[in-house]
Structure 1
Amino acid sequence: MLTAIDKSSLLHQLAEPFAVTPEQRAFYQEYGFIKLKHVLSPEVLDYYGNLITEWVIKLNTLTKPMEERTTYERAFLQIMNLWRENDEIKEFVFSRRLAQIAADLMDVSGVRLYHDQALYKEPSGGLTPWHADQFYWPLASPKTITVWIPLQETPMNMGPLAFAARSQHVEIGRDIEISDESERLLSDELQRMNFEMYDTPFDLGEVSYHAGWTFHRAGPNTSAAPRKVMTMIYMDQNQTIMHPRNQFQQADWETWLGSYPVGSRPESDLNPVLYSCS
């Protein structure tokens, strides 16, 4: 069990500023993603990773055999808004350090939480098809960003996240849900348009940030261990809600935005401001 001093150190690390350089901000703005090393310590990842894993196991309801699952179900176990289930996980999700990086990369004065999401790719778990996250979100501005946090070192055989550089500006595939179809269509289109794919391992403590409209995918997990990942989705604190354009955005509006009025800022208790410099 951690002492009060040990826990204080972890909380300090989660709040401590991270210096985003002008070069890193420019890279994100151009390519639509960035990977940053040494953002979180092994101690932080171990402590909070164990808690997140415990709650993923507790809340997971997807238990059918892998061969009976859809492509989406084979990609990962998905548990959302763990911050509302456990106060210590809330400490991790509400990290000022991680939120500050998101604001700096997007060049906005502050960010609020959309929701968190644990993504656990089991051994023999399948690929995560090409997709863009913002297809699912009824948000008017592209000022959205996801931090992808591996809770362990993630070599290629575990299925690290891969990105199509500069794809955040193209219109193709913005009306397709994550599926076998999105994998086929986007693989062909991204290759035809000569988008460079960045597909590299993650060191322990390395995290990535990607824009809501950046296309990304992940390979299968062919290792003997689960690929454990925690994510948080942030939006510009001045983001506004738009009218849902598909059934998924309708569900998100009701579930993650508290059915707040279209045209307003998402200011319910579900979407707190996690960092603001104003």
Structure 2
Amino acid sequence: MNATLDKKSLLAELDAPYQVSSEAVTFYQTNGYVKLKHVLSPAVLDYYGDIITDLVFRLNTLIKPMAERTTYERAFLQIMNLWREDAEAREFVFSKRLAKIAADLMGVDGVRIYHDQALYKEPSGGITPWHADQFYWPLSSPKTVTVWIPLQHTPMEMGPLAFAEGSQHVEIGRDIEISDDSEKILAEALQKQNFNVHDTPFELGEVSYHAGWTFHRAGPNVSDKPRKVMTMIYMDKDQTIIQPRNQYQIADHETWLNSLPIGSQPQDEMNPILFSR
């Protein structure tokens, strides 16, 4: 197959619907996350993984030795909004296949992108402490979800994502930023309330979706290879911007929502609709 036809097949896969079972939707709604197998082919992950990796190492500015970094800095290299940096990265980020899964799981008519981010946990990279993503987002509705896409098979020694099942339904720890404190405080609170923690490897082509208020963490990368992950954050296309409640939401309002008026809806320039029924 020539290169043009091969690229067409990759783009076709990124647009092709993935059948989300009713059991998967129920599991997501109950537990605040779901892991889905065979969502993306090795060919797609290989092709776009190389593009994403090149961008991460070209755009990364975190060059301090690991021993001099904060807990957050040791967790991963974090590069955001690759879709605005590269046309082929945009093809991956704007996948209708992945966006439709998000809409199906949340039970909404369509989704916008909030932003994307590559999260590369280097060899010897530390833990990702317990946290909930929506602490950082000035958004009115809990109809938000992140797809977590490992670009390689991710065994336990690489630090796969772990989830506290059903934690999106409780309001503990919603005022805690990701930190050593969040790891300690949330670990104790989740254990006290007997939340089951799902912590298993990811096969190649397996992805997870987790809700904005679902508490999650990842272990250290004790392998000799980087744990390469791409993520996209989706929100209900009818989401509303609220008054920021902390310094991080103030920054997010400016950076990812273009400082639009409080009470308005995100617009297409920064937050385009990626799937609509």
TM-score > 0.5, shorter chain as reference: yes
Query: How do 1:51-130 residues align onto structure 2 when only pairs under 5 Å count?
Result: 51-130=51-130
Aligned positions, number: 277
Q: Which residue of 2 aligns with 1:263?
A: 263
Task: Describe the superposition over 1:227-248 as per-residue Cα deviations: whole angstroms up to 9, x where unpaired.
Answer: 0000000000010000000000
Identity of aligned residues (%): 72
1:249 matched to 2:222: no
AA of the residue aligned to 2:251:
A
d(CA) in 2 for partners of 1:249, 1:268: 20
Show the counterpart of 1:203: 203
Root-mean-square deviation over aligned CA pairs: 0.9
The letter for the 2-side match of 1:57 is F
One-letter code aligned to 2:97: R
Question: What whole-Å deviation, never above 9, does each CA across 1:197-236 have from its counterpart, x for those lacking one?
Answer: 0000000000000000000000000000000000000000
Distance of 1:11 and 1:114 partners within structure 2: 22
Matched, 1:176 2:176: yes
Look up the equivalent residue of 1:230 and give its one-letter code.
Answer: M
The residue number in structure 2 matching 1:190 is: 190
Distance 1:79 1:193 in 2: 34
After superposition, what is the alpha-carbon deviation per residue over 1:170-191, rounded to whole angstroms, capped at 9, x for unaligned?
A: 1111000000000000000000
Give yes or no for contact 1:257–1:268 (8 Å, CA) kept in 2.
no
Structure 1 distance, partners of 2:236, 2:109, is 8
Counterpart CA distance in 2 for 1:199 and 1:260 is 38
Deviation for aligned residue 1:2:
6.4
CA–CA separation in structure 2 for the residues paired with 1:205 and 1:23: 20
Question: What is the one-letter code of the residue matched to 1:74?
Answer: R
Matches of 1:2 and 1:60, distance apart in 2: 33
Name the CA distance, whole Å, in 1 between partners of 2:268 and 2:32: 28
- 5 Å-filtered alignment, 1:141-180, equals 141-180=141-180
What CA distance in whole angstroms lies between the structure 2 residues aligned with 1:41 and 1:49? 12
- Secondary structure at the residue paired with 1:115? strand
Measured after TM superposition, the shift of residue 267 of structure 1 is: 1.1
CA distance in 2, matches of 1:100, 1:260: 26
What SS does the corresponding residue of 1:117 show, helix, strand or coil?
strand
Q: Which residue of 2 aligns with 1:3?
A: 3
Task: Measure the CA separation in 2 of the matches of 1:16 and 1:168.
Answer: 30
Matched with 1:133 is 133
Amino acid of the residue matched to residue 175 of structure 1? D
Q: CA deviation at 1:261?
A: 1.0
Aligned to 1:15: 15
Q: TM-score, normalised by structure 1?
A: 0.99
User: SS of the residue aligned with 1:40?
Assistant: coil
Find the aligned partners of 2:270 and 2:93 in 1 and give their Cα distance.
13
- Kindly provide the CA deviation profile for residues 34-59 of structure 1, in whole angstroms up to 9, marking residues without a partner as x: 00000000000000000000000000
1:268 shift after superposition: 4.0
CA contact (8 A) 1:260 1:268 kept: no
The residue matched to 1:112 in structure 2 has which SS? strand
Partner SS for 1:242: coil
SS across alignment from 1:231: strand
CA distance in 2, matches of 1:172, 1:68: 31
Whether contact under 8 Å (1:25, 1:104) holds in the other structure is: yes
Q: Distance in 2 between the 1:164 and 1:143 partners?
A: 18
